[in-house]
Structure 1
Amino acid sequence: MSRPPLREKPCAFCGRPFSDRKRWNGRDQWDDVKYCSRGCRAKAAAARRRS
């Protein structure tokens, strides 16, 4: 049995594409996820504070 293709979208901070994870999919959180990593989320928050 083949798996359906994973969804991908670009990170809001660095622009690198990242794919859906099982924990996001099960909780219907994929639409809320914006960043590929904790580091990008922290850097984006720091950039917002500086502005």
Structure 2
Amino acid sequence: MSVLYVAVPLALVLGGGGLIACLLCIRSGQYDDLDTPAVRMLIDEEKSKD
């Protein structure tokens, strides 16, 4: 029973930290463009004529 006094606050702190990290990633725009990285490897690079 006494382990709950440690486990519950620890779980709340870790969950809150994960929530804050997720919100910071969303606000910074990391999840704005989900399609381009998946097809970036299919786009040919233009070769320079130098």
More helix by share: 2
> Larger RCO: Structure 1 or Structure 2 (Cα < 8 Å, ≥ 6 residues apart)?
1
TM over 0.5: no
So what's the TM-score if we normalise by structure 2? 0.30
In our comparison, the structure showing a higher alpha carbon Rg is 2
So what's the TM-score if we normalise by structure 1? 0.29
